[in-house]
Amino acid sequence: MDKKQCPVKLSAHPSRGLIDEKMVVQVQNAEPFSKVTLRAFHCCEGGYNWEAFAHYYADMSGQVNVSEDPSLGGTYFGVEPMGLLWSLQGVKGNKLGATLRKLDPQIPMTVTISLYSGYQSEGFEDLVPLASVLVERWNVAPGVRIIEIQEDGVNGTLFMPPGPGPFPGIMDLWGHEVGMIKYRAALLSSHGYAALAVNYITPDVTKTTREMVELDFFEKAFGILQRHPQVISSRVGIAGLCFGNVIMFKVAAYSEVVKPRCLVCVNGMHMIPPDKTLGEARSYTTEVMRTSVNKDTKEIVMRDSLLPIPTDPKLKMDLGRVSCPLLIIAAEDDLGIPSKEAAEDIKAMMERAGKGDLVKILSYPKAGHILYPPYMPLGNLTVVKGTGVQLWGGEPHPHSFAQEDSWRKTLMFLHKHLCEDASEN
């Protein structure tokens, strides 16, 4: 059959995979040397629409391989195998501050990838594609078990890997947001870790007291994970992001009962006086946000209000007390927290305590505060009701690199400290 009579074929492999798994998008049987546009479209759980597109030039056999061929225009340029995902942008009509993230990790992120003739940049809804393919991106691997935890006042969701175990464990502490963010814990379980996402902003206990939970709450949560019959009790670590790191550092440095095997800090700070309760610490960060509002633009840049890093040891937690390996991921364009400066101060503090060899810093230029799993688009602002617009910083391409690279190195760090010789119990 004449090749020109063959239908154009568009494929994405794997069409169903984990959110951090690379995929290969290919076009076959297009007109030789023709101009084509690939577009990705996604409607998120919040009901907002997102799209990315790229212009390609088919080769002499009518083929395009996104993993090898450069985009000549669109929402990204050059050879970017995952550009159709990390460059997703909100379409017109999305509200200010709409962020693409997974609310329910049990529901896949579905993306429709379509092929169009010529170089197109708008009006896709009025165009007829040459071909389309549906892709599913999952946070949970097949066989992961999801266990809701309500014990001793602790609320959380435990993601348990397939199989009998036992598994190393991770207590996952997200940031300042109301509710429970589960997708990182879900993805960690897909890589073999029993991961407990802890709801510490709105657990049952705070509904009655209306006060922030304190250190004993997290000691209980850690103990619940540690005592689970499918968890290796001596191989449990903690991962934090934003305010979750304040909690993580408080637990690791000052708890008499919690002894984590390792820590992962993503854009965190330690500039909280150790005698403050966690409730007082949260109130302090909220007040910093309110006083960081630009009266003219209503933009909030908390980073500047938190600098310089205090030199008085009474104004920050003593992380020289931490005795386990610590991985710090610092985004250099973080406008929420001075992540790079805080990381350097933490390292210096631990070096003075003779523990500098326990600290590893990964620093990423032009990356912003919110580091999602790989290939998710940049979320660089949040609308704070009644206050202003919180800026998080970052540029799409370097931020995407930071997410991919830091996630890969996080998994390596966790494997080294939680999995090697994991038969030890």
The three-class DSSP label of residue 425 is coil
Angle at 204 between CA 202 and CA 208, to 5 degrees: 95
The three-class DSSP label of residue 209 is helix
The residues, any chain, with a CB within 8 Å of residue 42's CB and separated by 6 or more, are 49, 50, 51, 88, 100, 109, 110, 111, 112
Provide the 8-state DSSP code for 78.
B
Separation of alpha carbons 306 and 150, rounded Å: 36
Tokens 């076959």 belong to residue: 28
CA nearest to 258, candidates 238, 277, 278, 274:
238
The yes-or-no answer on residue 357 being catalytic is no
Q: Are 63 and 32 in contact (CB under 8 A)?
A: no
Six-digit token string for 223: 């103990």
Which amino acid does the sequence have at 90? G
User: Phi and psi of 174, rounded to 5°?
Assistant: -85, -170
The yes-or-no answer on residue 242 being catalytic is yes
Query: Which is the catalytic residue, given 334, 345, 399, 417?
Result: 334
Provide the 8-state DSSP code for 415.
I
The region, left, alpha or beta by phi > 0 then psi within -120 to 50, assigned to residue 46 is alpha
The yes-or-no answer on residue 270 being catalytic is no
Six-digit token string for 156: 């959380």
Query: Which is the catalytic residue, given 242, 262, 265, 399?
Result: 242
Q: Please list the residues that pair with 383 across neighbouring strands.
A: 389
Positions annotated as catalytic residues are 242, 334, 369
